[in-house]
Amino acid sequence: MVAVNAAREILRRLHDVMAGRTAAQAKLNQVVKIVADELGSEVASIYLLRDGMLELFATQGLAQSAVHVTRLSMGQGLVGTIARSREAMSLAEAKAHPDFAYRPETGEDDFHSFAGVPIVRRESAIGVLAVQHREPRDYAEVEIEALQTVAMVLSELIHGAGLVDDAQAARARAANSGPARLNGLKLVDGIARGQAVFHQPRVVIEHTVAEDTDAERERLVTAFRQMREQIDSMMGQAEFTGAGDHHDILETYKMFAYDEGWARRINEAIETGLTAEAAIERVQARTRSRMRSIDDPYLRERLTDLDDLANRLLRILSGQLSTAAQMGLQGDTILVARNLGPAELLEYDKRHLKGVVLEEGSLTAHVIIVARAMGVPVLGRVHELFAQVAEGDELIVDGGNGALLVRPAAAMIKSYQAMRVLKARQAEQWARLRDLPALSKDGHSIALMMNAGLAGDAAALDLTGADGIGLFRTEFQFLVSATLPRRERQQALYSQVLASAGARPVVFRTIDIGGDKSVPYLSGDNEDENPAMGWRALRLALGRSGLMKVQARALLQAAAGQTLRIMFPMISEPWEFAEARALVEAQKALIVRQGHALPTEIQYGAMIEVPALIETLDVLLPMVDFVSVGTNDLTQFLFAADRANPRLADRYDWLSPAILRVIRRIVRAARDADVPVTVCGEMGGRPLEALALMAIGVERLSITPAAIGPIKAMVRSANLAPLAEAMNLWLDAPGTNIRTQLQTTATLQGIALA
Ligand code: PEP
Ligand code: MG
């Protein structure tokens, strides 16, 4: 039995070896001797990866003539099996195991029992450490753990000596793991290829053997304290962002972060002489191996959370705190994350970011809206993502099929390339429509505007031939900024957007912060239980009117000498609109007093995204110049279904009678009042949904730039009158599956639904 004392003794002796000035080979020879001594085994051997094969590099007990001669491929024999699975193995009777491969040159006939562990670096097996005993015996868990500890130290030694380089290890891992296909939910359409980069990179442990155990213990205490503080503050923010599953995960984090057992196990590992980092990794390796044998999906997920947390603790300890964005992307990248905020996504270098894969995610979460605007395909709700994908793996995101191809085989890469050509051809066809009107076959004209929010977005106006910007989300500037953007910066952005738009209209929406758009410097007074329905958007803006006044002045000045279009978000009752408009109007006097010019005209609009407002349209409509239906929020409030909650992501259909009837009601009321209506939610950017909207009388859409081409193609291939008639009948007959009906009719009509 190897008790803590013996483990400590092994590490003490390894420490001396590591510190010695002998050559790498001599060090390996010393290590096998120490292992055999301390474990009382007749044999101890080290196999290392060389040219894709596992080569016997050092042994105590087997024939020395086999060193650098005996070689096994990945998956071959017990050693190859351990390397391939990256799992420890122990057997009382090795020869009875189906994977046993007899190697006469080693002289191993006399040994019955066998135990081996992988030597791992950056999630790749770079070798195997094995012991053999003459007598058949079972190995105790502490013995396996002692071997694993030695393997960690060996990993440091091997890397330091340059015996196996990282690239070689990664290649071997990829070759040996083989391709995999994971399913997910298409959140932003498109295909992309690149290397997996984790948003929160895994920490690589550089030092395993401690110089000073007391100091390591203290480092751990400090790191735990910091981690607990972080979790507590994230819990606070989660109240604000209200992001569904996110909260559950934080609860689990919190449970583990305060779990005495976990901290104790890490401390025990430190007691044996490991650094705090190595001790965490040591404990985590055991958790991971247990994870693989658990069937219960709930428990597995919780253990993945613990893995995540261990990585956080490692990041704190090692000071490697930056995200992949801050470290900079190198080449074509597929970003891998559990979830992201819109601001986090915007930090990435657009030239290299080709795609995003998330374990969570939902269609109308703001990060997805941002990704859509950036033209970056996103696949969400990919289960087992972190279990299947390692950093550096080649990935293909196939949005159309809702699939992630991991380490794709050559044939898959070929079909990806074919898909790209096809997509490019389709894009060319859409580009050819750029200057043609969005006119249906039977002569109905649809205004196609685009949604925007960042300075660079306006360039898409010319590229797509959009009729203007129907929704400019001004809060994006606040989201990407570490501090509150001052008036000058706001004004500069608005001027720039207006200049790019030229004669085309731009509708500026005043800041809509809150819900899943959190801004740290404004979160002070946001302690809502349910932030989507809390102190957000216009409520926050009217409450902190200083903010709104500054924005109003920035808008008024930016639009001097031309028409200014302002729209207010999240209005629940008409008086809120009146108050917001009065607030803007009051700023005019100030601008004039300061000697600045005013816009020639100001048009005020209201977003319709809170169901209550629909009941008072008769009061609202006479007050406004235009309205815009925000289906993202309207749907979430109509169905009482959090738009950011991945579990609800595909539960409600935009083509359900409730939504279509409510929009039809708005359209009819607005038409009677002679007020133009736009639909600016994500719904309008999907061809079938847009067709449904047109069929209920919507004549203006504001959509993501990438959707302009496909939607225009759809409009130009549709005969609207018969569809409008059919739609009214379906909506009046409850129980009709409108999606199926519309799809069938559209196919029969030959409507282009890309
Ligand atoms: C909406 O709610 O539909 C909308 C367009 O606004 P946002 O997505 O920014 O909340
Ligand atoms: Mg909204």
| Model confidence pLDDT, tens digit, residues 408-465 | 988 889 889 988 888 888 888 888 999 999 999 999 999 999 999 887 788 889 989 9
Which of 364, 479, 568 for a ligand 1 pocket mutation test, highest count of atoms within 8 Å of Cβ?
364
Q: What is the pLDDT of residues 492-523, one digit of tens each?
A: 999 999 999 999 999 999 999 877 677 766 75
Q: How many whole angstroms separate alpha carbon 654 and alpha carbon 738?
A: 10
Report pLDDT digits (tens) over 647-692.
Answer: 777 778 899 999 999 999 999 999 999 999 999 999 999 999 999 9
Evaluate: CB of 475 within 6 angstroms of ligand 1.
no
Query: How many CB atoms are located within 10 Å of the residue 374 CB?
Result: 21
Q: How confident is the model at residue 21 (pLDDT cuts 50, 70, 90)?
A: confident
Look-up of token digits 């030229």: 502
Inter-CA distances, 147 with 34, 94, 144, 160, 434, Å = 11, 18, 5, 20, 66
The half-sphere exposure of 446 on its side-chain side, counting CA atoms within 13 A, is 35
Angle ∠(433,438,439) on CA atoms, nearest 5: 120
631 CA to middle of ligand 2, Å? 7
Asked if residue 473 has its Cβ within 6 Å of ligand 1, the reply is yes
Structure tokens at 646: 């991945």
Q: What are the phi and psi torsion angles at 23 (to 5°)? A: -70, 160
Query: What is the number of the ligand 1 atom nearest to the C-alpha of 631?
Result: 3
**Kind and range of the H or E element at 367?**
helix 366-374
Q: For residue 369, give the ligand nearest its CA.
A: 1
- The arithmetic mean of pLDDT across residues 218-244, rounded, is 75
Tell me which H or E stretch contains 356: strand 353-358
What pLDDT score was predicted for residue 1?
40
Mean pLDDT for 63-92 is 92
Which pair of tokens denotes residue 207?
């030092």
> Residue 666: which residues within 8 A CB-CB, separation 6 or more?
608, 614, 617, 627, 629, 677
Q: CA 599 to CA 552: how far, in whole Å? A: 12
Q: Which of 450, 509, 680, 682 to mutate to test the pocket of ligand 1 (most atoms within 8 A of CB)?
A: 680
The first and second tokens of residue 414, run together, are 């070929």
What's the pTM? Answer: 0.71
Question: Measured from the CB, is residue 664 less than 6 Å from ligand 1?
Answer: no
Q: List for the chain the helix, strand, coil content (%; round to 5).
A: 50, 15, 30
Three-state SS at 466: coil
Q: Report the 10 Å Cβ neighbour count for 522.
A: 19
Section 559-581 average pLDDT: 97
The kind and range of the H/E element at 186 are strand 185-188
Quick check: CB of 630 below 6 Å from ligand 1?
Answer: yes
Residue 510 DSSP class: P
Residue 557 contacts residue 595 (beta carbons within 8 Å): no
Which ligand lies nearest to the CA atom of residue 453 in the structure?
1
- Indicate the pLDDT class of residue 384, thresholds 50, 70 and 90: confident
Burial class (CB within 10 angstroms; exposed 0-12, middle 13-18, buried 19+) of 735 = exposed
> Does residue 609 line the site of ligand 1, with CB under 6 A?
yes
Q: How far is ligand 1, taken at its centre, from the CA of residue 635, in Å?
A: 10
| CA distance readout (Å), 722 to 362, 647, 725, 727, 728 | 34, 37, 5, 9, 10
Question: In 10 A of CB 429, how many CB atoms?
Answer: 13
Residue 525 has pLDDT above 60, yes or no: no
The helix/strand/coil state of 568 is strand
CB 73 within 8 Å of CB 52: yes
CA distance 34 to 154: 12
Distance 644 CA to ligand 1 centre (A): 12
Q: Which two tokens stand for residue 601?
A: 């005209």
pLDDT digits (tens, 9 = 90+) for 346-380: 889 889 999 999 988 777 777 888 888 888 999 99
Atom of ligand 1 nearest to the CA of 475: 9
Range list of H helices, 607-656? 611-614, 617-620, 631-639
Task: Give the position of tokens 């086999």.
Answer: 66
What atom of ligand 1 comes closest to residue 683's alpha carbon? 3
Whether the CB of 633 sits within 6 Å of ligand 1: yes
How many angstroms is it from 465 CA to the middle of ligand 1? 23
If you measure from the C-alpha of residue 536 to the centroid of ligand 1, how many angstroms do you get, rounded to a whole number? 13
- DSSP state for residue 165 in the 8-state scheme: -
Could you give the maximum distance between any two Cα atoms of the chain, in Å? 99
Which ligand is the nearest neighbour of the Cα of 570? 2
CA 229 to ligand 1 center in whole angstroms: 33
Place 299 in a pLDDT band, splitting at 50, 70 and 90: confident
* pLDDT tens digits for range 138-149: 999 889 988 998
Structure-token match 């909260």, residue found: 247
CA-wise closest residue to 546 among 594, 593, 493, 587: 587
> Taking all residues of the chain, what is their mean pLDDT, rounded to a whole number?
89
Ligand 1 atom nearest to CA at 451: 5
pLDDT in the model for residue 581:
97
* Cα 82 to Cα 54: distance, rounded to the nearest angstrom: 11
Pick the atom of ligand 1 nearest to 364's CA: 8
- For residue 154, which of 182, 188, 125, 134 has the smallest C-alpha distance? 125
| Cβ of residue 143 lying under 6 Å from some atom of ligand 1 | no
Q: Which residue has the least CA distance to atom 6 on ligand 1?
A: 630
**Among 473, 519, 610, 686, which residue has the most ligand 1 atoms within 8 Å of its CB, making it the best to mutate?**
473
